[in-house]
């Protein structure tokens, strides 16, 4: 592989929904490796860790999803759900049912006309699962992931604990991926969330920039323009969080964005990351230093979570719902 220039790396990172740094970091190297595989280049099958990853796996998952087979999330990782979907497809076309996507299975895939486009079955499944959980928070499991980069660790943990207290008062089950004395890796945080059977993951961070005028809040959800897929619930939740924080605080609204970061991509439940201001901006630092501001941010999250589970007719306008309103709705325990 030829050596890439910083501009080429930045372009690739932008295309893949990665952090745009221009540096050939570990995440970019993994993405470059995944990008080299096209469907048909190799046989795909479930193997022991590490699982097979690549654009070929994502293409397979997308094709199966379009035909109504349940692969779960289109994440480019050949896991158990993907193997099960391949077996169901093989059974439907009369091929050998072994869960391996070799030449015969790939040819059968390519020959069949797509009966459903745009990944609609996956979107319907995700929306149905979400609706079936009901509006009450008492049966929800929510994982809070306080970031631990230098400078943000105290801020994110404090806000996570403020959110935790409010969620517990509403009857939700809450887990934090870290406390003040531990610092798990990203992979450990993902595994912890998946093992918790979580309904939502909220990852809290701050940002920084060379330009001190950069400021504001931004929220991220799993999605890939390259593969034309995204988390339906994740996108809606990201939008609700972003709108509530922007309406209730004076943080600059830096909007929501689809990304393919592992924490969003490999977490099985809907997941978002929120960058709550810039540590390099004096105004944002002053805001984040105030206890009342952190309380407002925590309440913004609580209301966004509740709005996610309310039906459209029970929902309220952005910035108007209060925690006390949840009692009258019979939602508070």
The pLDDT tens digits for 153-170 are: 999 999 999 999 999 999
- Asked if residue 46 has pLDDT above 70, the reply is yes
- Asked if residue 243 has pLDDT above 90, the reply is yes
- Asked if residue 226 has pLDDT above 80, the reply is no
- 311 burial class (0-12, 13-18, 19+ CB within 10 angstroms)? exposed
Residue 333 lies in a domain: no
Last residue of some domain: 113, 129, 145? 129
CA proximity to 315, closest of 327, 326, 324, 299: 326
Residues 103 and 223 in one domain: no
Residue 58 lies in a domain: yes
| Cα separation, 307 vs 251, whole angstroms | 21
Q: What is the pLDDT of residue 331?
A: 43
Between CA 168 and CA 215, with CA 205 as vertex, the angle to 5 degrees is: 125
Last residue of some domain: 97, 129, 161? 129
Average pLDDT over residues 115-122: 47
Residue 86 lies in a domain: yes
197: left (phi over 0), alpha (psi -120 to 50) or beta: left
Q: What is the pLDDT of residue 224?
A: 85
Distances (CA, A) of 63 to 94, 108, 293: 18, 11, 46
Backbone angles phi, psi at 273, to 5 degrees: -120, 135
Residues 184 and 261 in one domain: yes
Domain count, the chain: 3
Residue 196 lies in a domain: yes
CATH classification of the domain holding 106: 1.10.101.10
- Give me the percent of the chain exceeding a pLDDT of 90: 66
Q: Within 13 Å and on the Cβ side, how many CA atoms surround 29?
A: 5
Q: What is the pLDDT of residue 49?
A: 85
Residues 155 and 288 in one domain: yes
126 — pLDDT class (breaks 50, 70, 90): low
Residue 32 lies in a domain: yes
Residues 210 and 293 in one domain: yes
CA proximity to 61, closest of 76, 45, 40, 80: 76
pLDDT digits (tens, 9 = 90+) for 262-316: 999 999 999 999 999 999 999 999 999 999 999 999 999 999 999 998 755 445 5
Q: What is the pLDDT of residue 52?
A: 95
Residues 315 and 177 in one domain: yes
Q: What is the pLDDT of residue 328?
A: 47
Residues 174 and 291 in one domain: yes
CA proximity to 208, closest of 308, 304, 276: 276
Residue 192 lies in a domain: yes
- Give me the percent of the chain exceeding a pLDDT of 70: 86
Domain that holds residue 83: 38-129
Residue 297 lies in a domain: yes
Residues 103 and 169 in one domain: no
Residues 316 and 188 in one domain: yes
- 135 burial class (0-12, 13-18, 19+ CB within 10 angstroms)? middle
Residues 283 and 236 in one domain: yes
Residues 124 and 266 in one domain: no
CATH classification of the domain holding 317: 3.40.630.40
Strands (E), the chain: 141-146, 173-176, 200-207, 217-224, 229-230, 253-259, 271-278
pTM above 0.85, yes or no: no
Residues 157 and 24 in one domain: no
Residues 261 and 196 in one domain: yes
């Amino acid at each position: 592989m030829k050596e890439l220039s910083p501009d080429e790396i930045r372009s690739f990172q932008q295309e893949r929904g990665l952090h745009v740094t221009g540096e050939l970091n570990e995440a970019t190297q993994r993405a470059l490796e995944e990008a080299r595989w096209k469907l048909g280049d190799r046989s795909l099958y479930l193997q022991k860790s590490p699982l097979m990853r690549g654009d070929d796996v994502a293409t397979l998952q997308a094709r199966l999803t379009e035909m109504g087979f349940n692969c779960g999330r289109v994440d480019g990782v050949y896991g158990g759900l993907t193997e099960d979907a391949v077996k169901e497809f093989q059974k439907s076309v009369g091929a050998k049912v072994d869960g391996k996507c070799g030449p015969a299975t790939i040819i059968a895939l390519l020959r069949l006309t797509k009966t459903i486009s745009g990944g609609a079955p996956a979107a319907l499944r995700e929306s149905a699962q979400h609706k079936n959980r009901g509006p009450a928070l008492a049966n929800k499991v929510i994982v809070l992931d306080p970031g631990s980069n230098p400078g943000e660790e105290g801020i994110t943990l404090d806000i996570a604990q403020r959110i935790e207290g409010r969620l517990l008062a509403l009857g939700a089950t809450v887990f934090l991926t870290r406390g003040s004395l531990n610092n798990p890796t990203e992979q450990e945080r993902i595994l912890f969330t998946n093992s918790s059977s979580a309904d939502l993951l909220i990852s809290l961070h701050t940002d920084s920039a060379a330009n001190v005028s950069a400021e504001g809040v931004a929220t991220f959800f799993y999605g890939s323009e390259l593969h034309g897929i995204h988390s339906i619930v994740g996108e809606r939740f990201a939008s609700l969080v972003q709108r509530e924080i922007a309406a209730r605080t004076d943080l600059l609204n830096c909007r929501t964005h689809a990304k393919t970061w592992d924490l969003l991509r490999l977490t099985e439940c809907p997941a978002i990351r929120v960058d709550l201001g810039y540590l390099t901006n004096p105004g944002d630092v002053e805001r984040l230093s105030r206890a009342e501001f952190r309380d407002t941010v925590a309440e913004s999250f609580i209301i966004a979570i509740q709005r996610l589970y309310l039906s459209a007719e029970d929902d309220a306008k952005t910035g108007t719902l209060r925690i006390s309103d949840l009692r009258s709705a019979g939602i508070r325990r």
